């Protein structure tokens, strides 16, 4: 009998690739239970939904085709085809449920397709967060909570919605860390708690390692609130960025981040997969905590905290504890960006980016590695400019602290350091003034290794300048 040959872009081959390959980078849990079930929800829950609902199947085909396009660029056309097949039906189902409360197909199927296309957007453009899909997912979850309070869902339905809700929290929080477009912050804790009824942990254990947030499930809502404050700071007029209101919020968040603690090791139910250990997820959670503290310090530099260099060293210390064989590295992009920019020309950082790129094969990783390298280059150029100023015999006497003023080249921010009588171009002046130091509105001069968020020497500024940010950034 002749063997059937399937085209690589056929539904059968794409669904097979999703099960064997793509699903593995959507979860840090990829083992099997003793009864043969997969830990990875994308291999059991989503596979069931794919079989029963066309909209979910088309979303999964879209995602897998975009993933395949890393090696075969022509697969993008296949992805676009399946995305087109999915969008019309999905939009209709979202409106039916969120506006009219009509559930022609289960809300978990609509939510799964929505989140899948959110991932697909990022894998397509490499810097896209899928904002519209995240907004839709938020509406779906809030409506589901409302319906659950009116008529409680069955334990089986809650078990299907719960992991999807956590995927949404992970995606939404990370999208806020880079985008400047402000939108209402969901009540992350409330959403997750609303679907935790009937949740069962292993005997003797109280905490399950999440498929994406790992051991940081309770930390992510706090990261989301911190990201919201940083968005406010970046969008505020310069004179309001260190206002008393901002300072109070930043101090509260800094204290909460400092005091946050991961679950105790003995209370955690370990994953079935043998290639990773619980301590890998604990170290990753700590890396996220310190990365958020560092990001907050760079956004509101007048709050009391450790220096950027010290915080970056803490982040890298935790990341180094996680071996490259562990699935925990799948969710370490954000802390590696934040700390990597402070560890200029680190061989370890470059090697870790290379390994993550080979393992995940998505453009997001490559783009983030490029941002880090550009940050290193910009800071190096700024230091060379400063050295050029000193080599001309001008020295520090050229740096005069003045009242807020306006001069050519855009140095008109309150408390900004003014460089006079300098033959360098305006762009060089901007860079060197940022590199030498930054003067806060209260006159406090900060260390020269501190780079304000949104500046030309900070990764957010690079993303903004390159057009990789606004409503289409993704870490």
Nearest partner of 64 among 134, 119, 109, judged by Cα: 119
What is the distance between the alpha carbons of residues 8 and 124, in angstroms, rounded to a whole number?
Answer: 19
Q: Which residues pair with 269 in a beta bridge?
A: 208
For the chain, the farthest-separated pair of C-alpha atoms sits apart, in whole angstroms, at: 87
What is the distance between the alpha carbons of residues 118 and 132, in angstroms, rounded to a whole number?
Answer: 8
State both tokens at 328.
């925990």
CA angle 353, 356, 357 (to 5 degrees): 85
Please state which of the ranges 200-204, 296-300, 316-320 shows the lowest mean pLDDT. Answer: 200-204
List of residues 6+ apart from 238 with CB closer than 8 A: 413, 414
List of residues 6+ apart from 310 with CB closer than 8 A: none
Nearest partner of 145 among 213, 94, 196, 201, judged by Cα: 196
Q: Looking at residue 203, what is its pLDDT? A: 52
What is the distance between the alpha carbons of residues 200 and 204, in angstroms, rounded to a whole number?
Answer: 11
Higher pLDDT, 239 or 224: 224
Q: Looking at residue 240, what is its pLDDT? A: 84
Burial grade of 393 (CB within 10 A; 0-12, 13-18, 19 or more): exposed
pLDDT above 80 for 234: yes
Q: What is the mean pLDDT of residues 221-243?
A: 91
State both tokens at 405.
């003023």
Report the 10 Å Cβ neighbour count for 417. Answer: 19
The number of residues making up the chain comes to: 475
Q: Give the model's confidence band at 410: pLDDT under 50 very low, under 70 low, under 90 confident, else very high.
A: very low
Q: Which residues pair with 214 in a beta bridge?
A: 210
Q: What is the mean pLDDT of residues 421-426?
A: 41
Q: For residue 314, give Cα distances in angstroms to 61, 84, 121, 307.
A: 40, 45, 32, 11
Q: For residue 320, give Cα distances in angstroms to 27, 196, 350.
A: 21, 33, 13
Please state which of the ranges 54-58, 97-101, 119-123 shows the lowest mean pLDDT. Answer: 119-123
pLDDT above 80 for 442: no
Q: Looking at residue 427, what is its pLDDT? A: 46
Q: Which residues pair with 32 in a beta bridge?
A: 38
Judging by DSSP bridges, how do beta strands 268-269 and 207-208 pair with one another? parallel
Q: Give the model's confidence band at 83: pLDDT under 50 very low, under 70 low, under 90 confident, else very high.
A: very high
Q: Give the model's confidence band at 402: pLDDT under 50 very low, under 70 low, under 90 confident, else very high.
A: very low
Output the CA torsion sign for 382, 383, 384, 389.
positive
Query: In the Cβ-directed half-sphere of 407, how many Cα atoms lie within 13 Å?
Result: 18
What is the distance between the alpha carbons of residues 149 and 55, in angstroms, rounded to a whole number?
Answer: 27
Nearest partner of 208 among 158, 163, 256, 173, judged by Cα: 163
Q: Give the model's confidence band at 411: pLDDT under 50 very low, under 70 low, under 90 confident, else very high.
A: very low
Q: What is the mean pLDDT of residues 168-179?
A: 93
List of residues 6+ apart from 225 with CB closer than 8 A: 185, 253
What is the distance between the alpha carbons of residues 246 and 118, in angstroms, rounded to a whole number?
Answer: 31
What is the distance between the alpha carbons of residues 225 and 252, in angstroms, rounded to a whole number?
Answer: 11
Q: Looking at residue 302, what is its pLDDT? A: 87
Q: What is the mean pLDDT of residues 299-328?
A: 94
CA angle 155, 157, 163 (to 5 degrees): 100
Q: What is the mean pLDDT of residues 436-451?
A: 44
Q: Looking at residue 389, what is its pLDDT? A: 75
pLDDT above 50 for 403: no
User: CB–CB of 123/362 below 8 Å?
Assistant: yes
What is the distance between the alpha carbons of residues 15 and 361, in angstroms, rounded to a whole number?
Answer: 18
Q: What is the mean pLDDT of residues 120-143?
A: 83
Nearest partner of 449 among 382, 402, 396, judged by Cα: 382
What is the distance between the alpha carbons of residues 92 and 157, in angstroms, rounded to a whole number?
Answer: 22
User: CB–CB of 290/318 below 8 Å?
Assistant: yes
Q: For residue 2, give Cα distances in angstroms to 5, 6, 16, 127.
A: 9, 13, 21, 45
State both tokens at 215.
């051991």
pLDDT above 50 for 423: no
Report the 10 Å Cβ neighbour count for 5. Answer: 7
**Collapsed DSSP state (helix, strand, coil) of residue 440:** coil
Please state which of the ranges 30-39, 55-64, 111-120, 241-250 shows the lowest mean pLDDT. Answer: 30-39
H and E: helices and strands count for the chain: 17, 4
Q: What is the mean pLDDT of residues 366-377?
A: 93
pTM of the model: 0.86
Burial grade of 247 (CB within 10 A; 0-12, 13-18, 19 or more): middle
- Which single residue is written with the structure tokens 């310069």? 238
List of residues 6+ apart from 12 with CB closer than 8 A: 6
Q: What is the mean pLDDT of residues 140-148?
A: 97
Q: Looking at residue 179, what is its pLDDT? A: 84
């Amino acid at each position: 009998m002749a063997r059937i040959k399937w085209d690589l872009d056929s539904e059968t081959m794409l669904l097979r690739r999703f099960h064997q390959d793509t699903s593995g980078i959507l979860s840090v849990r990829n083992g099997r239970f003793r009864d043969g079930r997969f830990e990875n929800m994308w291999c059991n829950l989503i596979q069931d939904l794919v079989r029963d609902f066309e909209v979910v199947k088309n979303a999964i085909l879209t995602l897998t085709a975009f993933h395949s396009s890393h090696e075969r660029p022509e697969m993008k056309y296949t992805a676009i085809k399946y995305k087109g097949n999915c969008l019309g039906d999905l939009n209709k189902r979202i409106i039916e449920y969120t506006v009219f409360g009509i559930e022609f197909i289960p809300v978990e199927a609509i939510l799964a397709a929505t989140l899948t296309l959110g991932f697909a957007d990022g894998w397509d453009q490499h810097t896209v967060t899928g904002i519209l899909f995240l907004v839709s997912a938020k509406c779906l979850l809030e409506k589901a909570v409302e319906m659950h309070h009116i008529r409680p869902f069955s334990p089986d339905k809650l078990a299907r919605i719960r992991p999807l809700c956590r995927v949404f929290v992970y995606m939404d929080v990370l999208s806020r860390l880079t985008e400047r477009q402000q939108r209402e912050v969901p009540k992350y804790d409330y959403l997750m708690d609303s679907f935790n009824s009937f949740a069962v942990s292993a005997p003797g254990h109280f905490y399950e390692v999440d498929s994406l947030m790992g051991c940081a499930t309770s930390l992510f809502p706090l990261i989301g609130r911190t990201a919201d404050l940083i968005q406010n700071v970046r969008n505020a007029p310069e004179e309001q960025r260190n206002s008393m209101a901002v300072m109070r919020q930043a101090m509260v968040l800094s204290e909460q981040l400092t005091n946050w603690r991961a679950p105790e090791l003995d209370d955690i139910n370990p994953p079935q997969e043998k290639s990773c250990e619980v301590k890998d997820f604990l170290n990753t959670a700590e890396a996220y905590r310190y990365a958020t503290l560092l990001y907050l310090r760079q956004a509101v530099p007048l709050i009391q905290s450790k220096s950027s260099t010290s915080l970056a060293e803490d982040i890298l210390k935790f990341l180094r504890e996680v071996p490259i064989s562990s699935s925990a590295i799948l969710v370490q992009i954000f802390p590696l960006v934040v700390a990597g920019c402070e560890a200029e020309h680190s061989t370890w950082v470059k090697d870790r980016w290379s390994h993550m790129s080979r393992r995940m094969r998505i453009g997001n990783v490559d783009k983030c590695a490029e941002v880090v390298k550009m940050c290193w280059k910009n800071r190096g150029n700024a230091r060379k400019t400063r050295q050029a100023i000193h080599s001309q015999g001008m020295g520090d006497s050229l740096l005069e602290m003045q009242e807020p003023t306006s001069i050519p080249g855009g140095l008109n921010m309150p408390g900004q350091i003014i460089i006079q009588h300098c033959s360098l171009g305006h762009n060089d002046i901007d860079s060197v003034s940022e590199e030498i130091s930054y003067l806060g509105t209260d006159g406090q001069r900060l260390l020269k290794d501190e780079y304000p968020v949104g500046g030309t020497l900070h990764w957010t500024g690079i993303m903004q300048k390159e057009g990789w940010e606004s409503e289409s950034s993704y870490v």
